Every structure is written in C-alpha cells, then in structure tokens.
Structure 1
Amino acid sequence: MKKKKLLVLLLIFSLSFACKDAKKSEKEIDSSTENVEETADAKKILKTKGDEIKIIPIEHATAVIEWGDVSIYIDPTGGPLAFKNLKTPDLILITDIHGDHFNKETLEALDVSKAKFVVPQTVADEMLNEFVGKLEVLANGSNIELNGISIEAVPMYNLREEAKDFHVKGRGNGYILTIDGQRIYFSGDTEDIPEMRSLKNIDKAFVCMNLPYTMTVESAASAVLDFKPKQVYPYHYRGRPDVSNVEIFKKLVDAGNQDIEVVQLDWYPNEDF
C-alpha cells in the first residue's frame, strides 16, 4: 500500500512538471510569434521590430537617412564625392531653390536612376528636364507615402522684416518623415514660425540657425522648447560672415527642458569651426 501511495505521488509530481513545461513552451511560442501579422495573401510573415534609422550628416543642410534598404537624400549638394560609399538614393527631398539646397550639378553627377524626388513647385519649375518624370510636387500641408515612408510638407519662411525676401511663405518646404513610427523633422530655411512651434510628437528635429538667412540660436531654442522634440539636431548653422554658436543653443535648451536631448553632428567636416 505504501508503495502504491508513493507511486501515485511520484506520478502527480511528474505530471505537474510536465504541465509547467508545456505552459512554458506555449509561452515561448506565443512570444516568438507575437510580431507575426496576416498579409493580404493570407500568408504569415514575421514582422520585425524595425530597422535602425541611420542619420549621416554630409554638409550644412545636406543629410542622408538610411533605413533598411531605403536611402533618402535631403538637399543633396557637394558633388558626387560627398556621397562616396553611400547607397544610391531611393528618395530625394529638396526644400528650396537656393543653391545650398538645390544643386543641379550634384543631381546630374549622382546615380538617381531609381530615385523619386519630393519637391516644392518652385524647385519643380527649375528642375532639369531629365528628372521631370521623377517628381512628386508637394505644397505646404500636403503629404505622400513613398517606400513605406510618410512625407509631409510643412511651411518654412522668414518673419523678420529685413529677411522676408529670403524665404517667402509657401515657396519652400520643411518636411516631416514618419519612418517606422518615428517622426523626423527637417526645418529647411525658416525662422521660429507658429507652424514650427505647434508641431507635435517629433522624435528627431533638425533645426536651422544662421543669420541673415534663418534665425538666431535664441529663436531656435525658444521654438524647440515650445514643440518639445525628443532629440534636436542643430544643423545649417553657418552664416555670412558668422557661424552660430551651437553651444549657446544647447545651454538654452538644457536650461529650459532637460528632457530634450541636443545632438551635435559634424556638419562641416572640411572647415575649422
């Protein structure tokens, strides 16, 4: 009788462990498939958590964003050597007609065979004929989705009376790119306009600050403290003749809101600032 009781106890004990292991296996399976989504053709594919968004400063207002297999050139200037060893562009965003944003010689020299251009109308009007069929023209407030990326055109313009002719309202575009859930803002040439101050849920903000064409570091910091991006990248800070003091900008932002991270990239690698 004692042996039978012992055998029963051992059986119960082993079954309880088996149940635990089974539950553990089910949990592991659930965990491994929690990112699986149903596709249009009813097949299951593994949905990744998202590729890293890589920001590559080129010079002044020019940057490259790489996300998985997608490469985005922002205001490409500097000739083909500036983009040596980088992926050829899938998207090219141009903010304005000024030469530090729209450089025909650079565009002609790059391999843009697979690229779509996103531009304001003023840039489209001056675009090289060979690229006209590649253009998506956006006005302020309009948007488009390309290569899985939402692109919204937002205003960029001057406020100061002495600078109003540099960038008139409606001529150029700032851009908000939504990439894998992250909202990335490129200001283009602008001052601290109401449309910038009212931006929401920006993860990375690239904000210009140079005189006489855009705004002071004080104005840029004030706007950033209003719209509260998670990270702010000062760019486009070389002026004539002065270069804006990015350290002052950082101190102003840090003093106003330490939750905003100021990220300093090297936008002028060939110049001693």
Structure 2
Amino acid sequence: MKPTLFLTAALAAFAVQAQAQTATALRVPADQIATKKGPLTVQPITHGSVVFTWNGKTIYVDPYGGAEAYAGLAAPDVILITDIHGDHLDPKTLAGLSVGKALMVVPKAVAEKLPAEYKAQVRILNNGQKLDTLGMSVAAIPMYNLPEAPDAPHIKGRGNGYVLGLGGKNVYLSGDTEDTAEMRALKNIDVAFVCMNLPYTMDVNQAAQGVLAFKPSIVYPYHYRGQNGLSDVASFKQQVNAGNKKIDVRLRNWYLAAK
C-alpha cells in the first residue's frame, strides 16, 4: 500500500474509532437481563430509542437522534417503529445507519411515510396483530391519547406499542400512549418501557397508576422529555414503589447527549 493510502486508511479507522468512543461516552451503560436463550442487553439511546441485543440479533426501537448515537453498535436485524412523529420515524437517522438487511416492523401509517428505498423491508402490523420472526415474537398493542378525540396527538389505530417475546421474557414498549385499558390489561410483562411527557402522552401520576395496574417485574421510564423539560422520574419511582415494592424501577439517563 502506498504511504498516502495507508495514512488515509489509518486516519479513517481512527475517525471511526473516535466516533464510537464519543457515542459510548454519551450513552449510559447497558443492562443485561437473563432469558432462557442468553442475556438480553438493554442499551438506552435517547428519548424513545433503545437497542436490544439478544440471541445473536440486534433490535433497534425508534432509531432517532442522529446515526452517530448508534456508533459502535451492531447493525440492526430488526427495526421497530411505533409512530409517524419525527422522534420515532426519523428518516435522517435511518439514512445514516446500516439498515439494508433489517426487517422493519411498523404500523401502516409509518409504512406510508417511509422512503421508498425501504419498502421491500417492511412488515406492517396493525393493532392486535402478531409476528413471529428470528426466534422472537412481536405483538402490536394500541397506543393513543385519552380521552379519544380525532384531533389528539395520537389517535387509536395509527401507532403501535409492542410486546416482544424473547427467550421466555415479555418486553413491553409503550410508544406514545396514556394509561389505556389495553396497557392496564397487559399480563406477564417482565420488562416495560413506559413514556411520560406532557402534553403528548401521560403525566407521571398516570404512568405510575398504569404500571401498578399491569405489574411488570422491571420498568424503565423513558420518553420523558416534554414541552416543559424532563418529567420527574424520581416521583414516578416513589409512586410505583409505594404501591408495589416488588416492581424494580430502573432510572437511566436517556438524555446524556443533551447535556
């Protein structure tokens, strides 16, 4: 290799490594949760975005915040998108990621807004439908505002929350919702990710009461940045554990990059 080419390659490799190190510094450490098919790794990214690795597969949920936020992470095998809003469906972030081999599981409204280049990768799930793929299950759960209204930020039937079945563990992702009857009726949830950001979803009190209704073993408050800043997740934890000490409320900083 000529010296100039070698130097160029070395600089490029250094840049990639530096980008990955920077991204890692802006992410909280990942958690691991045991399943029957090995650990489920939970990597918070930002806001409503999280990356799971399990059984040799990588799952991106609502990839948002710029591709640099995902530097150093494996390319996705599955991408779940919950809604059409830009903090869930973010074409700019998708364009910067290696998503060419990923199955995209989305509601119909999202499929209609995805760039044409992704159409062949899309599998549409409507509320109440279920998909089995790559050794896991994905069930679409309604997510919407209360009271129901045609001008609500999130109307019933447009977006999906999801319940993932991963090695005997059930993982619930609320998407943008309030404490709906469907959320309260969930059963056997091992890990839950629950939103709380006014005026778009529910407040801390609603979120706590919803969680106390369906009793997940572990709950992460996420998607907690609203118009007036960050929601009081410490109050959420206090309320949940006052009602049920067995629920493991895990507070993680989903907004490190915003500091």
Residue 59 of structure 1 is matched in structure 2 by 46
Aligned length: 225
Residue 254 of structure 1 is matched in structure 2 by 241
Note the C-alpha offset of 1:116: 0.3
1:97 corresponds to which of 75, 84, 98:
84
1:114 corresponds to which of 88, 101, 119:
101
Contact 1:211 1:242 in 2 (8 A): no
Query: Cα–Cα, structure 1 residues 163 and 187, in superposed 2: closer, same or farther, change >3 Å?
Result: farther
What percentage of aligned pairs have identical amino acids?
51
Amino acid at match of 2:115: L
Q: Distance in 1 between matches of 2:101 and 2:111?
A: 18
- Write out aligned runs for 1:77-156 (5 A): 77-156=64-143
Amino acid at match of 2:153: F
Which of the two has higher C-alpha Rg? 1
> Following TM superposition, where does structure 1 have runs of at least 4 consecutive aligned residues deviating by more than 4 angstroms?
161-164
Q: Distance in 2 between matches of 1:164 and 1:226?
A: 28
Residue 270 of structure 1 is matched in structure 2 by 257
Residue 178 of structure 1 is matched in structure 2 by 165
Q: Deviations over 1:220-243 (max 9, x none)?
A: 000100000001100000000232
Q: TM-score, normalised by structure 2?
A: 0.84
Note the C-alpha offset of 1:80: 1.4
Q: Distance in 1 between matches of 2:147 and 2:233?
A: 21
Q: The residue matched to 2:158 in structure 1 has which SS?
A: coil
Residue 175 of structure 2 is matched in structure 1 by 188
Q: Higher mean Cα deviation, 159-168 or 260-269?
A: 159-168
Note the C-alpha offset of 1:144: 0.3
Q: Higher mean Cα deviation, 262-271 or 80-89?
A: 262-271
Contact 1:158 1:164 in 2 (8 A): no
Contact 2:41 2:52 in 1 (8 A): yes
Contact 2:148 2:155 in 1 (8 A): no
Q: The residue matched to 1:175 in structure 2 has which SS?
A: strand
Q: Distance in 2 between matches of 1:240 and 1:60?
A: 13
2:228 is the alignment partner of 1:219: no
Q: Distance in 1 between matches of 2:84 and 2:185?
A: 25
Note the C-alpha offset of 1:269: 0.8
- Give the root-mean-square deviation of aligned CA atoms: 1.5
Note the C-alpha offset of 1:160: 3.9
Contact 1:140 1:155 in 2 (8 A): yes
Query: Cα–Cα, structure 1 residues 49 and 162, in superposed 2: closer, same or farther, change >3 Å?
Result: closer
Note the C-alpha offset of 1:68: 2.9
Contact 2:81 2:105 in 1 (8 A): yes
Residue 14 of structure 1 is matched in structure 2 by none
Q: Distance in 1 between matches of 2:97 and 2:167?
A: 27
Query: Cα–Cα, structure 1 residues 52 and 169, in superposed 2: closer, same or farther, change >3 Å?
Result: same
Q: TM-score, normalised by structure 1?
A: 0.80
2:56 corresponds to which of 69, 83, 91:
69
Q: The residue matched to 2:257 in structure 1 has which SS?
A: coil
2:234 is the alignment partner of 1:241: no
Q: Which runs of 5+ in 2 are unaligned?
A: 1-34
Q: Distance in 1 between matches of 2:39 and 2:254?
A: 21
